[in-house]
Chain A
Amino acid sequence: ILNVEQSPQSLHVQEGDSTNFTCSFPSSNFYALHWYRWETAKSPEALFVMTLNGDEKKKGRISATLNTKEGYSYLYIKGSQPEDSATYLCASRSGSARQLTFGSGTQLTVLP
């Protein structure tokens, strides 16, 4: 079983602050890294999928980077807003396996 770790477990920031979280995953036999946002009472929603070392993806104020050699990905949120409050999950896929292994998530609360 892959071990995917996310830190911090939870985070409170003020509206307007920028923030970032980390996802670490085994780098051997890496295939893809997914980020999801899971708002309370909703379904997890895909944010990014990255496959190549050095990949950077951006969606509005949210961006992510990938380092497959050292096995980590960062998710950045610029100018956090209360609607960014959610749990952010990362998941790794390795080799020929079809399944994803999820981290336990970072719970972000943006205070107005």
Chain B
Amino acid sequence: DGGITQSPKYLFRKEGQNVTLSCEQNLNHDAMYWYRQDPGQGLRLIYYSQIVNDFQKGDIAEGYSVSREKKESFPLTVTSAQKNPTAFYLCASSNHGKTDTQYFGPGTRLTVL
């Protein structure tokens, strides 16, 4: 089946540790995105990538890093510099076009203890 997968579904880490969230898509989409959701807030864009080996900061990139070495993969690293990393993280992908409908993965809930 075509789609986007994120792993793991739940992740627990100790404060001060870096952690990498996985996002894979087999939709052959060029663009991929990472969002963060906090209670009572909308999805906020962390990073996005329009093409392999290229990515741009979103609205809340501080404390995060990404890579885009393969078209189908866009991992997100939450570094120890991220002051409040506990959140729900969603990955999405889209094709370039006027509508740019984004297709979302199931999300990863990260809890930093």
Contacts and interface: CB of A to CB of B under 8 A. Distances in A.
Given A93-B100, A102-B43, A43 B105 contact: yes
A54 to B, nearest CB: 17
Given A46-B101, A46-B103, A99 B45 contact: yes
B42 A98 contact: no
Contacts, number: 56
Contacts of B103: 43, 46
Interface string A5-41: 0100100000000000000000000001010100000
Interface in B20-61: 31, 33, 35, 40-45, 48, 50, 58-59
A99 B58 contact: yes
B40 A43 contact: no
Contacts of A45: 104
Interface residues of B, number: 26
B104 A43 contact: yes
Q: DSSP class of B's interface residues: helix, strand, loop or mixed?
A: loop
A32 B99 contact: yes
A32 B100 contact: yes
B99 A44 contact: no
Nearest to B91: A43
Interface in A60-112: 89, 91, 93, 98-105
B90 interface: yes
B59 A1 contact: yes
B63 interface: no
Interface of B: 4, 31, 33, 35, 40-45, 48, 50, 58-59, 90, 96, 98-107
